Each structure stands twice: as structure tokens, then as C-alpha cells.
Amino acid sequence: MKIAIAQLNPTIGDLAHNAQQIVDAAQDADIQGAQVLVTTELALCGYPPRDLLLRPGFIAAMAQQLERLAAELPPELAVLVGYAAANPNALQRGEKPLFNSTALLQGGHVQQVFHKQLLPTYDVFDEDRYFAPGTGPSRFTLHTPEGDVNLGVTICEDLWNDEEFWGGRSYPRNPIADLAEARVDLVINLSASPFSVQKPQLRAAMLTHSATRFRCPILYANQVGANDDLIFDGTSMAFNRQGELVARLPSCQTGLMVVEYDLAKADLLPGTVAPLPTDDNEALWLALVLGVQDYARKCGFRQVVVGLSGGVDSALVAAIAAAALGPDQVLAVLMPSPYSSDHSVSDALALCATLGLPYHTLAIGPLMADYDQVLNPLFAGTDSGIAEENIQSRIRGNLLMGISNKFGHLLLSTGNKSEMAVGYCTLYGDMNGGLAVIADVPKTRVYALCHWLNQPGQSSPLDSQDNPASEDAESQTTPPSPDPLGALAHLRGQVPQGFIPSHILTKPPSAELKPGQVDQDSLPPYKVLDDILERLVQRHQSTADIVATGHDPAVVDRVTRLVARAEFKRRQAPPVLKVTDRAFGMGWRMPIASRWP
């Protein structure tokens, strides 16, 4: 028996196009002789639909689209489709109005419906806002010429509650254990698990453990693509009864994988195993490129604009944008002030030449003088300080927003996570934008990613690959670049210093808002700062715990207070592409008015 996994990139709310993706995958699976096709969690509407689920018309349209989809699929193929189903007993039982469900479609009809049992409410997940939990175990029997096969159906979080793997349970039940007790032959999971660094490896370890513990093969289908701030890497997998990986789809690409189940052996046979990215930097690069590409495409932007300062952050964002959309779709804007060093301009120009970016220079000195003149009656008798420095950033922010507004370009914000954490950024200035590309990437990782990008012979993230979003392009107003991940490949071997000019990576980072300014005038060294921030933001360690690791108590106390005081800025930031397990965004819910610590 052959089972296919469709690694899909749905667009939130585009029911007709998402359904067409499923039809296309089903036809391909049918040609390859599959008896079952597995799609991803909420594949029909896209994950996460968020408060679209509160609109009755959206739910009704999804139900109608599901019926049409069933009629369009190859009739002999059993297709598992993720969708949101109405809960008919919600009012009588006082339950939530919907289920996060999977429909079994075959023979032109909906044959069975299965509901997600474990509803996550942590980090970016808020599923009990919309869904009632299902009861299980969920399973169905597939009749084949070789015999019957009993398949168990789970949805994403249903896999994530093994007390032996995690050291405890987050929910009372373990749906995988229930299916094992029901003696299913194979467990199928439809997922929409967002990317973070090392997450694919964690999933693989968890699936290996469950398959081994319950002596049951597991098929895992994960969504790919970016929706708003969340990036989904796909990396769908299959494990045999021994917990061995037998098949895997690539990260950050759509695709179809067919695996074979041997009824005599009651196990999956070896298939094709796509390699994972070689290291965390490559995985992060692919995710960020996909995040920018899909955000622009799904929001209807053809081009982006980036303010280039000659610094490392804007250089990395420009490189990501060029790889995502093509260099000719990235407008770089240089905005030197009287305090800008000569190398800032020359480094920015070198980057434009290296990446092949069109650029324009807008000197802001005259505008600064105009602001000084207008504000002089009010500011007279005061010392020049942070307010005047920040006006420079706000002038630049206004110019960039003007360009965005005039030409319809998406403005990409270039601040990193370290700056966002401690508020080393200017509201309505460098924080302006429609997408914060690297605001979940600490400064030290920004440097590491740039050095990785510059490695001699580095080719895998930039050389020609399948467009991870191309299958969605026909329904979008914005066509993708014909080869977005290979858009910079023509530079390979032509730029001895690498994609990021070397001087950008060696000079001290500076906002250049006053003469001789460097970041370390105001902040601890980034290596120190990032370690403190990881412990505080990611690990939730107390100041005492952080000090116990060897950090200066005064520095820890100052950083902790800066993080708390900057909350009002983060609340007004653009959407942040999430690439760690604790990002500033919808999963970060800190109060603004707080006296802690």
C-alpha cells in the first residue's frame, strides 16, 4: 500500500486556491499509485486562520468548499484534509463552536471526520479560543487488495504529550498511546508546526521516540510557507516501527512524498530522505528568505524598500530580500547625515554593487537643519541629546515611508532582536516598516549568519532551487521571482570578499547619530548582552540566576530594566518573523505598565 504526503503552502482564507493545491497533489499521488493522501493541518483554510474563525460565513464557505473538493478528487483515493468543522452541540453543551478537524474524503463524499484532541494555548497558539477538543481514538480502516489496514489520525499537538519523552504531560491524555492501545497499524499526523532553530531536529527525536515506544510507524505531514509572522518549514517525515527515519521532504519547499507500507511486515519501507540544512545558519537563512518571500507575495507586494546604513543589520536584510524577491525588486535607500562616516556610505554602495541592488541617496542634513530651526523656540536653552539624535532616525523613517506610500513598496525594518529587546531603536524612525525581518535574530547571530553567507564555496542557500512558493503563484496578484533562492547565484566566485563587504563585518557597530558614536557607548558588548537576553527572554531565568553564571550584577539589573521599559516600543513594532522559540510578537504578552522587576 502506498501513502502520499502533500507538503502544502496554503494562503490564509484562499479556500478555492488551497483546494486546488490539494486536487493537484491528489492527482499526482493517484498517478504514483497511492491509496491514501495526507495533507496538513487546516490545509483548506491555512494555518493559523485566527479570528477569521469567528466569522460564520467563513466556516460555511469552508464546508461548501470541502464538499466541492470531495467531488473533484480521484474517487478511489482516500484523502485526509484539514479544515475547521462546526460543533453541532456547542450551544447545548456550552462548548466552543468549532473543531480543528480532518475529513476523510473518498468516492466523492466526506466519509468520516476526526477532531484534534489536544489544543495548545502556549506561545503563539490560542486554539481553545476557537475549538472544542475532540475525543478519540480517531481511526479508520482502509480496504486494500492485500488486506485491511487500520490507520490512526492525529492533528499536530496530539503528538506532543508523551510523558516519557518530555518528562511529564501537559494534558491528561496521550492520543498516541490511545491509538496504540486500539491496535492501529499506522499513525498519521497532520501538522502546522512553526519553524524555530533546531525545531526540525526536536520533532524528529520526538517522533523517533513515539514510534519506538509504541512499535508503530508514524507519518508526519507538516505545512510549509509563511503566514504573517509565522514560518513553517515543512520537513515532513515518515518513521518505521523501529523509530528509523525512512522518508523526508525538504525544508522550506512544497512537495509530494510517496512511501510504501508493507502489510506482511506491518511496517513502512525505506524511501527517499531529503537532507536537512547543513547547520543552523543555513536553516535560519532558508526560513528568513521564505518568510520575506511569502509575506510580500501573500500581501500583494511586488517590491520592497530597505534603508541601508552601511551596517551589518541592514546589509543582512538586503541580502535576504534580494534572495527572496530578486535583486531588481529591492530598492536600497542611503540617507547619510553630517555624522555619517565616509565608510558608511562606501560600504552601503559596495553592498549594492555586490548584490546588484538599485539604490538612491537622500542626504538628510538640510532636513535636520530645518527641524532644528522649527524646534529652536521650544528647545532653546536645553542641551542637545537623545531627542535630537532620534529626530535623525525619524527623518529617515518618514522618507522611507514616503517612498513606500508613493510606489507601493513594502518597507522592511532592519532592527535585530538585541536592539528590540532593550529598546535601542526609535519609534517612528528605524522601527518603521511593514515587516521586521531579523527582529528575532540576536546581534551575535546576525554576524554569524553574515560570516556563513560569505564562506568560500557557500552555495546551497543561493544556488538554484525549486521556488518554495511557486505553486501558489497563479492565484496571487504578485508573481514570485522566477528563481528567488538562486537570485544571487550569478555572484558566486565573482566577489572575493563575499556577499557582505568585509568592512561591514569588522567595524564597530554604530547608529552614527552623533560624532564618534558606537553601540557599546550605550550597551554592554553584544556577546554579553545576548547571553543575558537569552537567559532572560528565552529561558525565563531570574536576575539572581543570571548573575550566578558570572555576569556583573549591575549589568544584569540594567539589562533587565531596559527590557521591561521597552515594552511599549515592541507593542508598536511591525510583525516580527519568528525564528526562535520565544519571539517578540503574538507569543510575547508582557504588560506595558508594570513595576516588575
CA distance 244 to 327: 42
Exposed e or buried b for every residue in 246-260, given b needs 16+ CB within 10 A? bbbbbbbbbbbbbbb
95 is a catalytic site residue? no
Residue 425 bears catalytic tag: no
Cα gap 234→246, rounded to integer Å: 16
With left for phi above 0 and alpha for psi between -120 and 50, is residue 292 left, alpha or beta? alpha
* CA 112 centroid distance within chain: 32
Q: What is the residue whose three cell numbers read 556583573?
A: 552
Give the residue carrying C-alpha cell 533587565: 560
Q: What's the distance, CA 325 to chain centroid?
A: 17
Is 41 one of the annotated active-site residues of the chain? yes
Q: Which amino acid makes up residue 400?
A: L
Instruction: Please state, in angstroms and rounded to a whole number, the distance separating the CA atoms of residues 504 and 313.
Output: 9
Cell of 297: 507575495
Residue 107: CA atoms inside 13 Å, Cβ hemisphere, count? 4
Tell me the sheet residues that pair with 576.
436
Q: SS in 3 state form for 277-320?
A: CCCHHHHHHHHHHHHHHHHHHHHCCCCEEEEECCCHHHHHHHHH
Torsion of CA 52, 58, 62, 68, to 10 degrees: -150
Q: Give the C-alpha separation, 597 to 546, whole Å.
A: 14
Helix 386-407 with 365-379: angle, nearest 10 deg: 130
Catalytic residue among 45, 127, 156, 419: 156
Catalytic residue among 116, 199, 298, 443: 116
Beta-ladder partners of 68: none
- Asked if residues 158 and 138 have their Cβ atoms less than 8 Å apart, the reply is no
Catalytic residues: 41, 116, 156
